[in-house]
Amino acid sequence: MRFIVVRRTKPHQYIKPLIIVLSLLTGMILVAILLVLIGAHPVTTLVTIAYSFITPQVVKDMLLLTMLGCALLISFKGAVWNVGAEGQLYVAIIPIVWITLYAVPWSASSPPHQQVLVILASITVAALFGAAWGAIAGALRAYVGIDEVPVTLIMNYVAYYLVNLLILGPFRGRYVYGYIRTDDLPDAYKLSINIVMQRTGNAFLDGFLEFIRAIVYYAYWVLAAILVALLTWVVFNYTSIGLRIKILGSNPEFLKAVGVDARKTILTALALSGSLVGIASAIYYLGDLTRLTYPIQSQTASYGYLAILVAWLSMLELPLIPLSAYVVSSLRNAGRNMQIFGLGGLESTLILLGSILLTYSTLRFLTEYEVRVVK
C-alpha cells in the first residue's frame, strides 16, 4: 500500500472550510498541549480558549484585523507577499502625530469644522504614507527583482527604529510625566464614542451589554471596516488593476503575453495594499492608540503580523476576511488570557499564530491536489 499525490480533476466542495477548521484545531491543541506540559490544567486551558471567543475584547481587534486583512488581500491575490503591514502601520502614524499635535493642534478657539478636516486629512495622509512605504518594496521587487518578503520584513525594523527616533526627538511629548512617548491625541480628534452602561447584575445581560458598548465605542471602526472591505471588493470586481492583480497571482505569464506591464501591477499591488494599511493605521491611532510609546517594537500588538494570518486563513476570499479576523482576534484574546509567565500571553499568541499557519500552509495543497491510497 502506498500514498500518491495527484492533481484534483475538480475542486472538492468542503476542502477549504475543512482545512481552516483543521488548522485552527491544530493550533489550539498544540498550545493546550504546551500549556499542559508546563503545568496548566487542560480543561481550564480549553475553557479559556473557548471563552475568549465570546468576550467583548474581540470587537476592536476584529474590526482592525478586518481592515488589515483586506489590505493584505490586495497584494496576496497577486502572489505579492506584503508581510510588511507591521511597518506600514507605524509609518502611517507619523504624519498623523505631526498633523494632530503640531501642524493643526486643537485648542478651545479652534473652529468646529477643524475637527472633521483634520481627521479626514489624517486618514488621507496616512494612506499616502502607507502607499509610499509599500511602494518601496514594490519597486524593489518589480524593477530590481528583490524578493518582497525579506524586504518588507526588514522594512518593519526600519519603521520601528524610525518611529523610535521620532518619539525620542521631535515627537517627544511635553506632558508625559517623564515617560518617553508622544503627547496624547487631543480628545477632539479621537474616533471613539464613549458611553456608560449601568451593570444589571445579570452576568449574561451584562456580557451582552458590554458587547453593545464595545460596538458603539468602535462605531467609526465598523464604518471604516465596511468601507475598506467595500473598496477592496470594488477594486477586484470593477477595476482593471484588480483584474490584473488577480491574473498576476494566477497566471503571470498570461499577463505578460497580453502586453500588460507586470512590473507596474506588482508596484501598484503593494502601494494599494500599503495605502489600505495606512487607512487602518489612522483609524487605529485616532480611535484607540492615541499616542506612541518608546520603544515601539516592545509596545506593538503585532497587528501587522496577525493580519497575515487573517489573509491566509480567509483562503484569500474577501467574504471570509471578517470571519477570519474574528477567529484570529479571539485567538489573540485567548493568548492574552493564557498568560504563562506574565509576559502578556505573547508566547501563546506566537505559537497559536505559527502552528495555525504551519498546518494551514501544509494542508493548503489539498485544495488543488488529493492524496490517494493505492495498492
- Interaction site with another protein (CB under 8 A): 2-7, 34, 38, 81, 83, 140, 144-146, 149-151, 153-158, 160-162, 164-165, 168-169, 295, 297-298, 305, 308, 312, 340-341, 343, 346-355, 357-358, 360-362, 364-365, 368-369, 371
Residue (59 or 353) nearer to another protein, CB: 353
Task: Report yes or no: 64 and 303 within 8 Å, Cβ to Cβ.
Answer: yes
> Minimum Å distance from CB 139 to another protein?
10
Mutual angle of helices 303-313 and 58-76, in 10-degree steps = 70
Residue (150 or 319) nearer to another protein, CB: 150
Residue (188 or 357) nearer to another protein, CB: 357
> Minimum Å distance from CB 362 to another protein?
6
CA angle 214, 217, 220 (to 5 degrees): 120
> Minimum Å distance from CB 176 to another protein?
18
Residue (231 or 307) nearer to another protein, CB: 307
Residue (283 or 296) nearer to another protein, CB: 296
Q: Supply φ then ψ for residue 39, to 5 degrees.
A: 105, 0
CA–CA distance, 237 with 334 (Å, rounded to integer)? 36
Residue (260 or 350) nearer to another protein, CB: 350
Cell numbers placing 70 = 483586506
Task: Report yes or no: 244 and 260 within 8 Å, Cβ to Cβ.
Answer: yes
Three-class secondary structure of residue 128 per DSSP: helix
Residue (199 or 372) nearer to another protein, CB: 372
Torsion over CA: 315, 317, 319, 321 (sign)? positive
Residue (116 or 371) nearer to another protein, CB: 371
C-alpha closest to that of 87 among 285, 278, 286: 278
> Minimum Å distance from CB 15 to another protein?
15
Task: Report yes or no: 86 and 309 within 8 Å, Cβ to Cβ.
Answer: no
Three-class secondary structure of residue 341 per DSSP: coil
> Minimum Å distance from CB 156 to another protein?
8
> Minimum Å distance from CB 149 to another protein?
6
CA–CA distance, 136 with 28 (Å, rounded to integer)? 37
Please provide the distance, in angstroms rounded to a whole number, between the alpha carbons at the two ends of the chain.
4
Task: Report yes or no: 209 and 48 within 8 Å, Cβ to Cβ.
Answer: no
> Minimum Å distance from CB 204 to another protein?
34
- Cα 216 off chain centre by: 21
> Minimum Å distance from CB 247 to another protein?
19
